[in-house]
Amino acid sequence: MQSNGRGINVRIVFILSLLFLIPISIFFALTLGPADISFSLVMETLLGGGTNLSRVIIFDIRLPRVLAALAGGIALATAGTMAQAVFKNPLGDPYLLGISSGASLGAVIAFLFHPSLVPILAFIFAILIAFLVYFLGTAAGGTPTTLILSGIAVGMFINAIVWYLILSLPYLHGVYAWFLGSFSTVMWDQTYLLFITIPISLVSLFLYKRFNLLMLSDDEAMSLGLDVKINRAITIMLISFLTAMVVSIAGIIGFVGLVVPHICRLVVGSNHKYLLPTSLLFGGIFLLMADSLARMGTAEIPVGIVTAIMGAPLFAYLLVRSHVKG
């Protein structure tokens, strides 16, 4: 009992630490950029002072980008945590499962007709691909390996279509940087759209019991009173929505949904009562810091490249470990 109490205390301390780190991360990110703005000037500007130039840079350029990265990280980490539960797969991630690719195809098609359709078509295509991957993986044996291989295969096929459209249609050449994952052009209206994902992510915190049950076999979950089919369908739609919103604003950003839940699981365990809030908070900080790294050099690089550099080695490790255990 004492060790359990200590475990709970560690979890609570970790959650409180992440809450404390969020404003610090935001403040640090606001100091980064081509224009040299000191910590003191950032603080002065946020408090209503500063120069005209600092107010424009902070409030019109950096703050919407910083908050968009924070909201995007929260959404992708929440989606990844739910995906690992609903697919019973430690490699579950919207990027590896092809959901991000589906959303990007919907977004590119929307770009061809009317930009206002981007979030809607991204969501529709994300849902379609999520269910397609699930049914393909189930038909191929229903194991974690067949599921992830189905996601990778479908994702590669869709990415090839997206690249063909981008490279062959001059009208789409401008979305090249977006496709690689970037918050560089995000403005307030797009940030407000991403804010929609925050209450959806918070709702997932109250569904932690369902995600714990989804980790069991279908027979065990149903014997405990869970309607597996309905809860699985609802969860896949939530994952698709969160992923589609991020993709429609910032393009494909991979591995956040893979890396963050696994890091948090090492600290708080697999109980979604603690895993969901820690993943949510750490996901926001993780993507915000990745975006900060992306713009620290002499030339900005897409944040999707930064997260891939961080996440690909972990993916390889998890893939090897799952094969050894299998």
Residue of 173, 186, 203 lying closest to 253 (CA atoms): 186
The answer to whether the CB of 92 falls within 8 A of the CB of 80 is yes
> What is the CA angle 152-326-93, rounded to 5?
30
pLDDT in the model for residue 67: 97
Contacts of 166 (CB under 8 A, 6+ apart): 108, 172, 173, 175, 176, 179
pLDDT in the model for residue 10: 85
- Indicate whether 12 belongs to any domain: no
Residue of 301, 309, 311 lying closest to 263 (CA atoms): 311
- Indicate whether 47 belongs to any domain: no
Helix spans in 87-227 (H): 99-113, 118-139, 144-168, 176-179, 188-195, 197-205, 208-214, 218-223
The answer to whether the CB of 151 falls within 8 A of the CB of 133 is yes
Rounded to a whole number of angstroms, the distance between the first and last alpha carbons of the chain is 33
- Indicate whether 2 belongs to any domain: no
User: What's the rounded Cα separation, in Å, for the pair 126 and 122?
Assistant: 6
pLDDT in the model for residue 4: 54
User: What's the rounded Cα separation, in Å, for the pair 220 and 222?
Assistant: 5
Measured from the Cβ of residue 113, the count of other Cβ atoms closer than 10 Å reads: 10
Name the one residue in this structure whose structure tokens are 């359709």: 117
Q: How many domains does the chain have?
A: 1
- Please state at what angle helix 2-30 crosses helix 39-46, rounded to 10 degrees: 90
- Please, what are the averages of pLDDT over each run of 10 residues along the chain (326 residues)? 58 93 94 84 87 90 95 96 89 87 93 88 94 88 80 92 86 76 90 94 93 90 90 92 94 91 90 95 95 83 89 76 58
- Indicate whether 4 belongs to any domain: no
> DSSP letter at 280?
H
- Indicate whether 53 belongs to any domain: no
- Structural domain range at position 212: 69-325
pLDDT in the model for residue 3: 45
- Indicate whether 43 belongs to any domain: no
pLDDT in the model for residue 185: 86
Task: Look at residue 124 and give its three-state secondary structure.
Answer: helix
The H or E element spanning position 319 is helix 303-325
- Indicate whether 9 belongs to any domain: no
- Tokens read off for 227: 């309607």
Confidence (pTM):
0.91
CATH number of the domain that residue 179 is part of: 1.10.3470.10
- Indicate whether 58 belongs to any domain: no
